[in-house]
């Protein structure tokens, strides 16, 4: 199904509503993207995503047309993943050095060619000024949501800056570009200041509520919201749902699950996918939402056929709409999650991307 067909369907739905005498409102950009994601789900397709894919990769950065996924498959990933870290302090570049203006331009180009953009946010610690991994400062989330506190004032400003950046992503016709936003991710782990033992369940949910409230107050209507626990402290559906911010605040039930330890780690990875992606899929089905593997990868890919022999068998029975690989760092030689030409896992990645359920950009016959 291509975007034209999706728009036709949305238009037909609007016409039906108007015939039934109900007032017709044009679907928001977020509703349009959500409709597209539901169609992927119905068709049992899985979009391939890659973080910072067009900004830099193994051995190159900021090269026109650059993309490690494209170098291997001839196509861009369908999902371009970006991070907003440092938008909160009004920096010109995000935490891995990508200029926000570059992101704005590339997100628009990707949208124009039919792709989807997704954002995470590794923001700073509002108490200490340290990074997302700085868990010091004492009750940071509690202070960030406490009405009237100075930290809350700062948090509101930071969320406003994130909202305004996302709200400022526009198409050539002036309409907003729909995106997926995945704030407060991997909160079941302990490494971020919003992680599991750094705040109570109520405080974490209050942080989500504050975030949504500020986006909504500013009229930001181009966001599809994703919830994405990590495999840590997340073996059961109850654990997956423990800090769920509520159906009215979430559209995508996500999961971040990485592979560690090469060949020896295969069984553990498969089991983690079963637990966390399994929970995401079950909860999504119960709520009429969609599920996604919002981050994954095996750093530097030590198992040559990891994509087709380990990853695909682990996910194939789950109706997820996307699989997003983390970044191929330009500066850290061993920090990459998609192979590049000449890497031993390159042929296997291409074979994975060519599987009938996997979608790269512009495969309109499939979508």
122 binds ligand BMA (CB under 6 A): yes
Q: Which of residues 222-281 bind ligand BMA (CB under 6 A)?
A: none
Q: Which of residues 38-77 bind ligand BMA (CB under 6 A)?
A: none
User: Where are the strands (E) in 167-219, listed by range?
Assistant: 179-182
Distance of closest approach, residue 337 Cβ to ligand BMA, in angstroms:
9
Number of other CB atoms surrounding residue 268 within 10 Å: 13
Among 53, 68, 96, 367, binds ligand BMA (CB under 6 A): 96
Closer by beta carbon to ligand BMA, 184 or else 326: 326
Distance of closest approach, residue 327 Cβ to ligand BMA, in angstroms:
5
Closer by beta carbon to ligand BMA, 186 or else 251: 186
Closer by beta carbon to ligand BMA, 227 or else 326: 326
User: 62-88 burial string, b = 16+ CB within 10 Å, else e?
Assistant: eeeeebbbbbbbebbbbbbbbbbbbbb
Distance of closest approach, residue 296 Cβ to ligand BMA, in angstroms:
12
By rule CB under 6 A, what string of x and - marks binding of each residue 334-353 to ligand BMA? -x------------------
186 binds ligand BMA (CB under 6 A): no
Distance of closest approach, residue 82 Cβ to ligand BMA, in angstroms:
9
Chain centre distance of CA 23: 33
95 binds ligand BMA (CB under 6 A): yes
By rule CB under 6 A, what string of x and - marks binding of each residue 307-326 to ligand BMA? -------------------x
Tokens (6 digits) for 259: 């592979």
93 binds ligand BMA (CB under 6 A): no
Longest dimension (CA), the chain: 61
Tokens (6 digits) for 254: 């996500």
Residue 342 to residues 53, 188, 345, 348: CA-CA distances in angstroms?
A: 18, 37, 8, 12
Distance of closest approach, residue 123 Cβ to ligand BMA, in angstroms:
11
The CA distance from 37 to 31, in Å, is: 10
Distance of closest approach, residue 285 Cβ to ligand BMA, in angstroms:
29
Among 68, 83, 256, 348, binds ligand BMA (CB under 6 A): 83
Residue the block writes with tokens 């330890």: 261
Among 182, 272, 289, 327, binds ligand BMA (CB under 6 A): 327
Closer by beta carbon to ligand BMA, 122 or else 366: 122
Closer by beta carbon to ligand BMA, 9 or else 95: 95
Residue 97 to residues 24, 226, 329: CA-CA distances in angstroms?
A: 44, 24, 11
User: Which among 294, 315, 245, 328 has a CA at the least distance from the CA of 37?
Assistant: 294
1 binds ligand BMA (CB under 6 A): no
Tokens (6 digits) for 148: 């009237």
User: Where are the strands (E) in 125-245, listed by range?
Assistant: 179-182, 223-227
Q: Is 103 helix (H, G, I), strand (E, B) or coil?
A: helix
Closer by beta carbon to ligand BMA, 95 or else 351: 95
Closer by beta carbon to ligand BMA, 95 or else 237: 95
Radius of gyration of the chain (CA): 20
Relative to beta strand 60-61, strand 56-57 is antiparallel
Closer by beta carbon to ligand BMA, 124 or else 327: 327
Distance of closest approach, residue 14 Cβ to ligand BMA, in angstroms:
39
By rule CB under 6 A, what string of x and - marks binding of each residue 123-142 to ligand BMA? --------------------
The CA distance from 230 to 336, in Å, is: 19
Closer by beta carbon to ligand BMA, 1 or else 95: 95
Query: Which residues, at least 6 apart from 64, have a Cβ–Cβ distance to it below 8 Å?
Result: none
The CA distance from 329 to 338, in Å, is: 10
The number of residues that bind ligand BMA (CB under 6 A) is 7
Length in residues, the chain: 367
Q: Which residues bind ligand BMA (CB under 6 A)?
A: 83, 95-96, 122, 326-327, 335
């Amino acid at each position: 199904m291509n975007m034209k067909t999706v728009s036709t369907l949305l238009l037909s739905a609007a016409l039906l509503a108007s015939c039934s005498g109900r007032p017709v409102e044009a679907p928001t950009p977020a509703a349009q993207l959500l409709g597209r994601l539901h169609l992927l789900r119905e068709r049992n397709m899985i979009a391939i995503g890659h973080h910072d894919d067009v900004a830099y990769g193994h051995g190159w950065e900021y090269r026109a047309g650059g993309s490690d996924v494209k170098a291997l498959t001839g196509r861009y990933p369908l999902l371009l993943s970006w991070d907003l870290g440092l938008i909160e302090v009004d920096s010109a570049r995000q935490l891995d050095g990508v200029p926000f203006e570059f992101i704005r331009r590339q997100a628009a180009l990707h949208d124009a060619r039919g792709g989807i953009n997704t954002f995470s946010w590794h923001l700073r610690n509002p108490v200490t000024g340290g990074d997302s991994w700085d868990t010091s400062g004492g009750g940071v989330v509690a202070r960030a949501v406490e009405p009237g506190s100075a930290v809350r004032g700062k948090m509101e400003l930071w969320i406003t800056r994130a909202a305004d950046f996302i709200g400022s992503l526009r198409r050539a016709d002036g309409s907003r570009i729909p995106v997926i936003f995945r704030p407060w991710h991997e909160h079941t782990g302990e490494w971020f200041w919003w992680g599991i033992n750094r705040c109570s369940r109520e405080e974490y949910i209050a942080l989500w509520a504050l975030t949504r409230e500020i986006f909504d107050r500013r009229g930001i209507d181009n966001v599809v919201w994703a919830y994405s626990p990590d495999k840590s402290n997340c073996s059961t559906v109850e654990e997956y749902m423990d800090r769920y911010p509520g159906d009215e605040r979430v559209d995508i039930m996500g999961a971040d699950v990485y592979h560690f330890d090469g060949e020896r780690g295969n069984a553990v990875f498969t089991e983690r996918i079963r637990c966390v992606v399994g929970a995401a899929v079950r909860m999504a089905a119960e709520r009429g939402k969609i599920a996604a593997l919002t981050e994954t990868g095996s750093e530097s890919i030590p198992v040559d056929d990891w994509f087709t022999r380990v990853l695909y068998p682990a996910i194939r029975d789950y109706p997820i709409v996307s699989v997003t690989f983390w970044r191929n760092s330009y500066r850290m030689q061993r920090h990459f999650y998609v192979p590049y030409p000449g890497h031993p896992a390159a042929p296997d990645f291409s074979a994975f991307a060519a599987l009938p359920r996997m979608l790269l950009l512009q495969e309109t016959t499939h979508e």
